[in-house]
């Protein structure tokens, strides 16, 4: 399947135009067709294409978009892995299918390389200079709008500037990064 887009948002538009209209997500360790409200058996999934958009070539910071088709039903849709976790928390048979798919890797160069999806990008060197300054917020209701139309489930936060930031993938796996789940209006960080 050929996609001409040079960024992840445009790729999603092309997929939708090509009939990949269902929104798939990993929820509680299961693949869910959010559009239909149904859990999908990963064994019934065929990966039609895997697109990998790197913010900078060889940077290790990327988003993956998978075009998926469900056997028997013919339902087609997309799974967005904006944090490049490649199946983190997903059913293992789905992870294997995703890993087997050959990526079409592109560099997603933007006019301003210091921003990603509308928020300031924090690189590993900046994080290393003051790792306690940044946290990963989970499930906060005040996340900025996601350009994929899905909504963020987690996002970096700069506690010094009190603003949301995009943490490059290498930071997400860093054991020094504190994870802060939303616990109501009195939640801090």
DSSP 53-109: EESSTTSS-EEEEEEEEETTT--EEEEEETT--SSTTS-HHHHHHHHHSPEEEEE--
Burial string for 99-127 (b: 16+ CB within 10 Å, else e) reads eebebeebebeeeeeeebbebbbbbbebb
Q: How far apart are CA 104 and CA 76, in angstroms?
A: 19
pTM above 0.85, yes or no: no
Contact 147, 157 (CB under 8 A): no
In tens digits, the chain (189 residues) has pLDDT values of 677 777 777 788 888 888 989 999 888 888 899 989 999 988 888 888 888 877 666 556 677 888 899 988 989 999 887 665 555 566 677 777 777 666 555 444 444 457 777 788 888 889 999 999 999 999 899 998 877 666 788 899 999 999 999 888 788 888 999 999 998 765 454
Give per-residue pLDDT as tens, 32-63: 999 899 999 888 888 888 888 776 665 566 77
Give per-residue pLDDT as tens, 78-96: 988 766 555 556 667 777 7
pLDDT for 187 equals 46
- Running DSSP on this structure, what letter comes out for residue 49? E
């Amino acid at each position: 399947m050929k996609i001409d887009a040079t960024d992840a948002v445009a790729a999603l538009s092309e997929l939708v135009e090509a009939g990949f209209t269902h929104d798939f997500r990993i929820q509680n360790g299961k693949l869910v067709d959010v559009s239909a409200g149904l859990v999908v058996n990963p064994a019934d999934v065929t990966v039609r294409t895997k697109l990998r958009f790197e913010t900078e070539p060889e940077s290790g910071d990327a988003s993956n978009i998978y075009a998926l088709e469900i056997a028997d039903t013919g339902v087609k849709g997309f799974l967005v892995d904006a944090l490049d976790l490649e199946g983190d928390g997903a059913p293992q048979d789905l992870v294997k299918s995703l890993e087997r798919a050959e990526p079409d890797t592109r560099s997603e160069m933007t006019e301003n390389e210091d921003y990603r999806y509308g928020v300031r990008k924090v690189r590993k060197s900046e994080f290393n200079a003051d790792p306690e300054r940044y946290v990963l917020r989970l499930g906060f209701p005040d996340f900025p709008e996601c350009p994929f139309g899905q909504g963020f489930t987690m996002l970096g936060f700069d506690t010094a500037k009190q603003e949301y930031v995009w943490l490059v993938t290498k930071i997400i796996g860093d054991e020094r990064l504190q994870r802060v789940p939303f616990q109501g209006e009195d939640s801090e960080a």
